[in-house]
Amino acid sequence: MPVQGSKRVARVHEPFAGAPPASRILTSVAHRFVAVGDSFTEGVGDWDERYPNGVRGWADRVAKQLGKVDADTAYANLALRSRTLDEVVRDQVDRAVALDPTLVSFFAGGNDLLQVRSDVVDLLDRYEDAVARLAASGARVLLFTSYDLRLSPVLEPLRRRNDQLNRRIRQVALDHDALLVDHWAMRAYAHPRMWEADRLHMSRHGHRYLATEVLRALGVEHSITLRELGTEAPRTWREALAAEREWWNGWVLPMLGRRRRNEPLGADLAARWPDPIRPADGMKRLARRA
């Protein structure tokens, strides 16, 4: 189905590229979309004080478009920044199932990979267990691979663990008949403006682009427009070295310090949309009432 308002600049891997017929997701009966996960799904990087927790994100943008297709669409977002896989499973999976979703998105495990001593094989087994629980609810499950971030040569072990995670996620998607948005394969995210200064969270541009890819996977036409980001001027080695130093001092070392002190960002935040809303009623209006 054609997608309105977007210029194709990237493709996903062919095994997951075909959008399913809309009838597999959207029916004449109002459907319910529940988003589960960490900062990726909460919307960190897509800053907007008019929305709960000061962020919007790809999931809100998808929900808005689903509401345009069917005004009775319901949407809940349980995701919270800094949460590990076990925390997402403990606090969100059963809540999501209790909301009786027809579509549930799941992204978790990225924060576990940042822990140097994490057992990736065990992590992946627990990840699949969570997906199986969601799939057993009868909802269609939507999964994502993680982008191939080239952060720093010093962090190359993190990239290898990320590759291992992505390989298993693709297999889990096949085994549980889940939809997969293959973020890893999207070349558009090579542009620096698709990312926040921390290089870990998508920017507003990144969230908007991902929303279009999710809607494409769902077979849903949309009205999201994507801006041309242009090209980045090449940097001198001095500029690149200064940027690297600023990133380590401004983001990496403070993050490691918070983890060592067990002071994750957003520990005092609550889920943005814990109870289902109707996006067709206006999400900014609903946020003001909350």
What does the domain layout of the chain look like in residue ranges?
A: 14-226, 237-265
Backbone angles phi, psi at 169, to 5 degrees: -60, -40
Lowest-confidence region among 13-17, 58-62, 209-213, 237-241: 13-17
Distance CA 205, CA 209 (A): 6
Per the structure block, which two tokens stand in for 61? 């943008």
Contact call for residues 119 and 160 (beta carbons, < 8 A): no
pLDDT in tens, 218-253: 999 999 999 989 887 787 878 777 777 876 777 777
Q: What is the pTM of this model?
A: 0.86
CATH number belonging to the domain at 14-226, selected among 3.30.930.10, 2.30.110.10, 3.40.1400.10, 3.40.50.1110: 3.40.50.1110
Task: Grade residue 154 by pLDDT with cuts at 50, 70 and 90.
Answer: low
pLDDT at 241: 76
The mean pLDDT of 180-186, rounded to a whole number, is 94
